Amino acid sequence: MSDDALPQSDQIDGAPHPRETATLVGQHVAEENFLEAFNGDRLHHAWMITGPRGVGKATLAWKLAKFLLANPPVDANDMFGAPPAPTTLDIDPNHPVIARMNAGSEAGLFVLKRPYDEDKKKFKQQITVDEVRKLKGFFSLSATEGGRRIVIVDAADDMNVSAANALLKVLEEPPADALLFLISHQPSRLLPTIRSRCRELRCVTLDADHMSAALTATGADIGTHGSALAELSSGSVGEALRMLNLGGLEVYADLVALAATFPKLDRTQMIALGEKAAARGQEARYELMLRLADVLLARLARAGLGQPQSEAARGELEMLARLSPDANAARAWASVSADISARAQHGRAVNLDPSALVIDMVLAMNEVAAKTAA
């Protein structure tokens, strides 16, 4: 099976691959920082692209790779001299580099990622040292082509210890004209020696307007839900797409409707929610339900602190104000949030019935509401 026919570990379900994403939304600061370094002849050999999941880190890495391969190093003896300094990272959409990348035939680019196990029909859990060792062949072959050699590591968080140490050697002694882009969702978990050898490009979460633009660019139909998706996904396009694919807005609306009955608690609604969690073939939706319960608890805590929030479901703001009217309530919700998260993690680890886990969670929330409700 060809690589193009295989699933891609660096692609979000429901979205185009980052190499095919023409528009990067909301990350102009990171773009400007890199362009300034490029024009100032301060192009470091290793860059760590950081930020939450789903905000465009991979899209930025591919955009930088296209830009660099379309703007090769200038020979100091070139009789025509250096070209004018570019003012944007965008390149002509008809540039041969883009055509080669889309065809998977760009000799100057190597993508280091978790491989797909065709026998087990799933991605391997880690990037192994064998994958990193392929860089040696890439650098030796691409050297004959001339120009820059670009490596995208997506994601550096996926490397095991041996792979990380092997990549560290490359960072310590990089080949000529080689640039590495390490995508990291949690850079604090990487080796300090790897972090110290990289310059950082920080990608930020997206506001509602940028979220709507980014989702529209993926072809997603968001209707009038841009603001709600931005609120519930913490500004992550990837998480917003996941919610759209799994009916997350409906799940959150169910959670809000149930919370609106606290502290009297509509037990019929509670049982119905538990049954949805336990439905066969709905494991991903169940995981999303638990994550959105965490979101609801966090929003209850913020409401008590008076932090402004946009309504993400009908009746939500009224419910938040009633159940979390002050700072004492905020502390209570923050405390139970940590407890519920720990219990949910344990429940999943021991394969507790999803319905029982959800009902336990709801009862714990209702107990707090009985103490905090205005």
Q: Contact 9/114 with Cβ under 8 angstroms?
A: yes
pLDDT of residue 1: 41
Residue ranges in the chain assigned as alpha helix (H): 28-39, 57-70, 96-103, 129-142, 161-172, 192-196, 208-217, 226-232, 237-246, 248-259, 267-277, 283-304, 316-323, 327-349, 354-372
Mean pLDDT computed over every residue of the chain: 91
> 15 or 189, which is more confident?
189
pLDDT of residue 227: 87
Q: What is the pLDDT of residues 150-190, one digit of tens each?
A: 999 999 999 999 999 999 999 999 999 999 999 999 999 99
Measured distance between the N- and C-terminal CA atoms of the chain, rounded to whole angstroms: 61
Q: Which two tokens stand for residue 181?
A: 């882009």
The per-residue b/e assignment along 281-316, b for 16 or more CB within 10 angstroms, e otherwise, is ebeebbbbbbbbbebbbebbbbbbeeeeeeebbeeb
Q: How many residues are there in the chain?
A: 374
Residue 343, C-beta contacts closer than 8 angstroms, at least 6 positions apart: 357, 360, 361, 364
Share of residues in the chain with pLDDT > 70 (%): 93
Question: 109, 62, 67: which is closest to 92 by C-alpha?
Answer: 67
Distance between CA atoms of residues 207 and 313, nearest Å:
17
Distance between CA atoms of residues 103 and 101, nearest Å:
5
Q: Contact 67/179 with Cβ under 8 angstroms?
A: no
pLDDT of residue 207: 86
pLDDT bin (cut points 50, 70, 90) of residue 13 is: low
The single-letter DSSP state of residue 72 is: P
pLDDT of residue 262: 98
Q: Is the pLDDT of residue 97 over 70?
A: yes
pTM of the prediction?
Answer: 0.82
Strand partners, 110: 151
pLDDT of residue 133: 96
Q: Which two tokens stand for residue 244?
A: 């759209």
Q: What is the pLDDT of residues 251-283, one digit of tens each?
A: 999 999 999 999 999 999 999 999 999 998 888
Q: Contact 211/229 with Cβ under 8 angstroms?
A: yes
Q: Contact 304/329 with Cβ under 8 angstroms?
A: yes
Distances (CA, A) of 218 to 23, 24, 47, 95, 213: 9, 11, 26, 22, 9
pLDDT of residue 144: 58
pLDDT of residue 22: 81
Burial class from Cβ neighbours inside 10 Å (0-12, 13-18, 19+) for residue 188 reads exposed
Domain boundaries, the chain: 27-202, 247-373
Q: Is the pLDDT of residue 77 over 80?
A: no
**CATH class of the domain defined by 27-202:** alpha beta
Question: 349, 350, 343: which is closest to 364 by C-alpha?
Answer: 343
Distances (CA, A) of 32 to 27, 43, 110, 201: 9, 13, 24, 10
